[in-house]
Chain A
Amino acid sequence: MTLALEQTLNGLQFGVMLFLLAAGLTLVFGIMGVINLAHGSMYMIGAYVAATSAEHGAPFAVAVLAGAAAAAVAGAVVEAVVVRRLYGRNHLDQVLATFGLILIANDGVSIVWGRTPLEMKIPDALAGAVPIFDISYPVYRLLLIACGVALAVALAFFVARTRLGALIRAGATHRELVGALGVNIVQLNTIVFALGALLAGVAGALLAPILSVQIGMGEQVLIMTFVAIVIGGLGSIRGAFVGALAIGLVDTLGRAYIPVLLRAVTTPDLADTLGGGLSAIAIYVLMAVVLIWKPRGLFPVSSR
């Protein structure tokens, strides 16, 4: 069952990277009540800046940090200029405004970097493959899994054990109270938003060497991120983790096995398209089922 092992690892890797995006998105929605369609753009900025830094000779770790920092800064700016005015507005307005941000981000990137996809090389030290049982699995993908899990643990620790984390948790459930306690809510919001953008930027930077760094890369992954946080429960980081992993595994294993199963009954190209379609639908079916069973997601955060 070497194929299954490899596919499961692939699914874990995808899921864990998706978590980095989902965590930020769920925090922003859970705490600030804002639907942020431009979250994918932070991911894209992280990837672009990381790739450019690497191209100019920065060592890998520095390039990733640069990408993350750029995304965080972009997030802070976006929050201050646009998102701040969207708190309390209805979701539709937030959708429209953040949709406008996507357009600006995509076009802005094309102005600065042009339309050709960028490349980022995996550092030689990480370029090989290691034997795991019967397969040899790329080192870099193992690193992604490790990074993702490490960041998840760090985030959980941060939210559970630090003062800022406590404020964030409080802000998620009792926003007015936190404000009444004298905490600078405006600053808190900016920090949370920037933190979410940072995580998205890290994901973008880490994935840049294996995916294509191109305009619109954020939107492709954004919709899966939304599905992940809805399954997990809006505002819940634990939910984001479970949701993201579920999606990563269902999507990858689905794409791998559904066409194979279909080949038994139909021609190769039909099996692959149908299989591609069915496995793409799989995550939405999963979400629909979860919502019908638990209308507020798996780990709902009881809100204000």
Chain B
Amino acid sequence: MYLATLLVLVAIPILAAIFGQPFWVNAATRIVIYGIVAMSLDLIVGYGAMVSFGHAAFFALGGYVAGILLTNGIDSAFVTWPAAMLAAALLAAGVGALSLRTSGVYFIMITLAFGQMVYYASVGLKMFGGTDGLPVPARSTLPLIDLRDATVFYIVCTVVLVAFFVIASRLVESRFGMVVRGAAESERRMTALGFPVARYRLVAFVIAGAVAGLAGALWADFSRFVSPDMASWTRSGEFLVMVILGGIGSLAGGLYGAAVLTGFESLFSGFTEHWMLVLGIVLILIVLFAKRGIYGVLAGRRHD
């Protein structure tokens, strides 16, 4: 199935060229970037049982940092992207250190609170556009490749997605990953075994935040516009929906969830004004009847 997905991802620009539909590349890039965020969220939600309702904050911070650098003439991707990741990582370290003292629904609420703080900060800081947003004048640049070409940019984003997928897959099977997953099941057991659970969790949280920040920078490059709604709680909610839709704990599910949620909107908004009604029904049906999300449907019923 992963092979099939990869083939589809690669085929899209080719098909777009054949059919003369450059918009497909545009739509696919959006899906891939959101897929990266959803995957990073799945890392902590699916494997670490840390349900963060403020993940969009890292996405937004990464986007703003990249956007601000680009507005000030700094356009090397070797600066903008790592800067975005670093900023997001620092924020995640701070938020994580405080939030991970709580658990369950309180963790959800406190991450929500921090997400809202980032949102209102971006609204309040008028020098970065406030609610009107910040147009980004140019894309980041890489040596030898022209990122201004839509297809090239799409391929770079896909490479990032696949690279993160591979790294994350290794991570969850590593000793580090086992500890985090074990702690999700039983914190007591892990602590009894002598693992510094809190520290491992924080590291996972920071990694997820940093990757979301990178996606934010890619978004700034892609849409050439960053705005506070990148940090809103509804955006965080959407990322959670993508994770759940795709299948928690499946990693690749993040991409599928992103595809469905994004594709749904563009698909149906052309047909009917009331696509949200349809989406709502689909979401409920999936929760009630397709417990493992799209991943579960695609992977077959082998493990149930």
Contacts and interface: CB of A to CB of B under 8 A. Distances in A.
B237 A284 contact: no
Interface in B11-43: none
Contacts of B113: 227, 284-285, 287-288
Instruction: Determine the main DSSP class of A at the interface with B.
Output: helix
A85 B121 contact: no
B284 A97 contact: yes
A95 B237 contact: yes
A97 B51 CA distance: 16
Interface string A170-200: 0000000000000000000000000000000
Contacts of A104: 276-277, 280-281, 284
A105 to B, nearest CB: 8
Contacts of B282: 100
A27 to B, nearest CB: 15
Given A95-B240, A234-B105, A111 B274 contact: yes
Interface in B66-114: 98, 101-102, 104-106, 108-110, 112-114
B109 A291 contact: yes
B297 interface: no
A296 B234 CA distance: 25
Name, among A86, A99, A108, A234, the residue most crowded by chain B CB atoms within 10 Å (CB to CB): A99
Contacts of A277: 120-121, 123-124
B248 interface: yes
A274 B237 contact: no
B115 to A, nearest CB: 9
Contacts of A274: 124, 126
Q: Give the size category of A's interface with B.
A: 35 or more
Interface residues of B, number: 44
Instruction: Determine the main DSSP class of B at the interface with A.
Output: helix
A96 B98 contact: no
A93 B287 contact: yes
A262 to B, nearest CB: 10
A292 interface: yes
A35 B277 CA distance: 21
Contact of A281 (B102, B117, B245): B117
A129 interface: no
Given A93-B244, A277-B123, A82 B284 contact: yes
A227 B114 CA distance: 12
Contacts of A296: 106
A92 to B, nearest CB: 6
A29 B120 CA distance: 28
Contacts of B124: 273-274, 276-278
Contacts of B198: none
18 contacts: A35-B108, A100-B279, A100-B282, A103-B276, A103-B280, A107-B274, A107-B276, A107-B277, A110-B274, A223-B233, A230-B109, A270-B126, A273-B124, A274-B124, A281-B121, A285-B117, A287-B109, A288-B110
Interface of A: 29, 35, 82, 85-86, 89, 91-93, 95-97, 99-104, 106-108, 110-111, 219, 223, 226-227, 230, 234, 269-270, 273-274, 276-278, 280-281, 284-285, 287-288, 291-292, 295-296
The 9 closest A-B pairs by CB, nearest first: A277-B124, A103-B280, A100-B283, A104-B280, A107-B277, A284-B113, A100-B280, A97-B287, A277-B120
